Structure 1
Amino acid sequence: MTIEQIANRLVELCRKGDFESAQKELFANDAVSIEPYETPAFEKETKGLPAILEKGNKFQDMVETMHKLEVSDPLIGTGAFACTMRMDVSMKDKQRWDMTEVCAYVVKDGKIVSEQFFV
């Protein structure tokens, strides 16, 4: 897949809230995920697709209601792309989060090898 195809497919799946399919389909087995420092529930860096999937499941288990999910069209470079993702969620602990992150992805050999989130 080209970087454009990867970026567009990731955005398509994320807009549906299907993060796990996006990761399984588009991420390298040794991918790295880097959270912003402001995220207290997760390690700063998660290595490997199985651990990234586990982190996603942990997040989903914390969410009670997804009120809104918006993902921008991607900005595509030669070896990386970025988009914004806005989530308005009620957590099971009754806190409500409405946040927008910049999501940056590095692609190598047709797979996403790293993702990093900025708030």
Structure 2
Amino acid sequence: MTTKEVADRLVSLCREGKYEEAYNELYAENCISQEMPGMPNALAEGKEQIIKDFHQWQNNIQEMHGGEVGDPMVAGNHFAIPMSYDITFKEGGRQAMEEICMYQVQNGQITKASYHYEVPEMG
């Protein structure tokens, strides 16, 4: 897949709430994922760890109130997607956040993901 095809497929799956399917289908086995410094699981190495961290995040959600996945912007083998969420966490309460998700693609798979947002006040 081209970078644009990967980006479009990721957006489609995320809009349907199929995040784990996106990881399994689009991420390379040796992918790395970076959250903002100071956040739990700030660096995950390998698809297995990324999925494990996703499950941990997902299990901390009490209620999902809404969110949006924007259209991708592609440049070479990179793309960025704006995303927003309004979530009540079991620990941390309700939080609305916006982020820019940046991805690197090689050989038709995501090899690096990084997430850029204001770090919320926890608790």
What TM-score range do you get, normalising by the shorter chain? over 0.9
Give the whole-Å Cα distance in 1 for the aligned partners of 2:41 and 2:14: 22
Mark the CA change 1:37 to 1:94 in structure 2 (over 3 Å): closer, same or farther. Answer: closer
Are residue 52 (structure 1) and residue 47 (structure 2) matched?
Answer: no
Aligned to 1:81: 79
Q: How big is each residue's C-alpha offset from its partner over 1:51-70, in whole Å with a ceiling of 9 and x where there is no partner?
A: 00000000000001111120
1:34 aligns with 2:34: yes
Corresponding residue pairs, total: 117
The answer as to whether partners of 2:41 and 2:53 remain within 8 angstroms in 1 is: no
Deviations 1:1-33 (A, max 9, x none): 111110001011111221110010000000000
* Secondary structure, aligned partner of 1:114: strand
SS in 1 for 2:76: coil
- Aligned to 2:37, what secondary structure does the other structure show? coil
Partner residue of 2:23?
Answer: 23
Contact 2:70 2:81 in 1 (8 A): yes
2:92 and 2:26 mapped to 1: Cα distance?
A: 33
What SS does structure 2 have at the residue aligned with 1:14?
helix
- 1:18 counterpart letter in structure 2: K
Distance in 1 of aligned mates of 2:85 and 2:38? 15
In structure 2, list runs of 5 or more residues that go unmatched: 118-123
What percent of counterpart residues are identical? 33
Q: Which residue of 2 aligns with 1:95?
A: 93
Contact kept, 8 Å, 2:34 with 2:43, in 1: the verdict is yes
Matched residue SS, 1:103 = strand
Runs of 4+ in structure 1 displaced over 3 angstroms?
none
The one-letter amino acid of 1:97's match is Q
| Alpha-carbon contact 1:102-1:118 (below 8 Å) kept | yes
Name the aligned partner's letter for residue 24 of structure 1: N
* RMSD, matched Cα: 1.0
Report the Cα distance in structure 1 between the residues aligned to 2:24 and 2:31, rounded to whole angstroms: 11
Distance (whole Å) between structure 1 residues aligned to residue 46 and residue 92 of structure 2: 31
